[in-house]
Amino acid sequence: MHRPRRLTILAVLFVSHLACAALPGRAADGSADDNARILAGIEPHADSPLARLTHEPGWRQHARSFDAAWKSLEARQLSRIRAWSAKTITKPQKTMLYMFSGPDFLYADAFFPEAGTYVLSGLEPVGRVPDVSRLQRGSLSGALAHIRSSLGSVMNYSFFITKHMKGQLRSGELTGTLPLLYVFLARSGKTIGDVSLVTLDKSGGELSAGEAVARGAPSGVKITFTGSDGKPRTLYYFSTDLSDDGVDNSGFLKFCERLGTADSFIKSASYLLHSGNFSKVRDFLLAQSATILQDDSGIPVHYFAAAKWELRPFGHYVAPLGIFPGRYQRQLSNIFRRAPAIDFGVGYRWRLRESNLLLAEKN
């Protein structure tokens, strides 16, 4: 007699359970979003099983340190970059490509906040999906200190120091780029939805990381997230060789091509695109991009055909650092003679009145 009512109640409870499980940041075992918040020094959701970690003195010290560091970074860099971008990059594309980026989502988001899909790439390993609940007892403080150390150069100078990153991302309990991507997403006000390890076949097709692929295939991660506007977005990071030999059979450029016309960003790229061994990535960016925003370590200016590109300089162009001999561009110096100033530092010449940006817009 009461059976239909019982079934109705059970159905309602079941649907309610599914709805709660679907909410970002609410997984019963500690979601990716809660893990990111813990690593970023931000309180997780109140009902998260990871909330207990915030009582540890090491986490509280980490949160205070990051709060102070991000407040300073926001004031001197990020807020200024967002204001400059909103005024300058007026026709953003849906796709944003950032070659030689490492895990630098921080500046990708600051310069291109309207992108729907971000593709970052570099040699740095992806690593395991972070799960702070599995850390050995008493090791959280050390793991968080390791993250602060790994982020020191990008927060102080705007770029990662490659030789330091090689060791930092392969040691400790939280390895690879993923913990740093988590921190940048959380501190940028994003809510992480899903995280999955992926790879690519030779035609640029996306595969789950468990599927059989050719040797040398890119290892990657796909992160879906939302920002304050609630729009769904996707971040890819691929660990892959961007040299001519590396991209020949990796499928990476074909994957990027499938995403359509893009805005491209190049910063602190070790002047690799000045050499003949990275011509395929250089040619691809020139063909695929509606705009290319770069410092002088990007594509040499003589590759931008005057009939195809409008070049807009910002800041000050000075000689490259001494560790990059032979990379001075006289033509670029002439372009920057009357360039408007920028009120933030970026790239290897990160000091305020030494930084340069070139915005190349395809006609």
188: Cβ–Cβ under 8 A, 6 or more apart, which residues?
105, 106, 109, 227
Mean local confidence (pLDDT), 16-25? 38
DSSP calls for 41-86: T----TT-GGGGGGGSHHHHHHHHHHHHHHHHHIIIIIHHHHHHHH
What is the model's pLDDT at position 362?
97
Per-residue pLDDT tens over the stretch 169-178: 455 668 889 9
Residue 268 to residues 124, 139, 194, 219, 326: CA-CA distances in angstroms? 15, 33, 30, 23, 16
142 inside domain: yes
- Asked whether residue 300 is domain-assigned, the answer is no
pLDDT at 297 over 50: yes
Residue 206 lies in a domain: yes
Band the pLDDT of 185: cuts 50, 70, 90.
very high
More confident residue, 9 or 84: 84
Judge whether residue 153 has pLDDT over 70.
Answer: no
- Tell me what the mean pLDDT of segment 50-78 comes to: 92
* pLDDT of 216 above 90: no
Q: Which of 239, 291, 287, 296 is nearest to 268 (CA)?
A: 296
Q: Is residue 313 part of a domain?
A: no
pLDDT band at 207 (very low <50, low <70, confident <90, very high): very high
Q: Could you read off the pLDDT of 316-333 as tens digits, one per residue?
A: 999 999 999 999 999 999
Q: Residue 30: pLDDT band by 50, 70, 90 thresholds?
A: low
Query: What SS3 state is found at 236?
Result: strand
CA distances 242 to 101, 121, 280, 304, Å, are 11, 8, 9, 21
Residue in 227, 69, 50 with CA at minimum distance from that of residue 148: 69
Which residue's structure tokens are 């019963």? Answer: 28
Q: What is the pLDDT of residue 332?
A: 97
| Residue 338 located in a structural domain | no
93: left (phi over 0), alpha (psi -120 to 50) or beta: beta
At what angle are helices 178-187 and 32-40 packed, to 10 degrees?
80
Q: In which band, very low, low, confident or very high, does the pLDDT at 151 lie, cut at 50, 70 and 90? A: confident
Residue 274 to residue 297: CA distance in whole angstroms: 8
The domain tally of the chain equals 1
Identify which has the larger pLDDT, 152 or 240. Answer: 240
Measured in Å, how far apart are the chain's first and last C-alpha atoms? 74
- In Å, the largest CA–CA distance within the chain is 89
pLDDT for res 265: 98
14 within some domain: no
Lowest mean pLDDT among 25-39, 49-63, 170-184: 25-39
- For the cut 50, the answer to whether the pLDDT of residue 7 exceeds it is no
Is residue 223's pLDDT more than 90? Answer: yes
8 found inside a domain: no
Domain with 144, as residue range(s), is 22-290
331 inside domain: no
**What's the pLDDT tens digit per position in 87-142?**
999 999 999 999 999 999 999 999 999 999 999 999 999 999 999 988 877 778 88
The per-residue pLDDT of the chain, averaged, comes to 87
Question: Is the pLDDT score of 166 beyond 80?
Answer: no
What is the pLDDT at residue 352? 80
Region 338-349: mean pLDDT is 93
pLDDT at 175: 82
How do beta strands 95-98 and 117-122 pair?
parallel
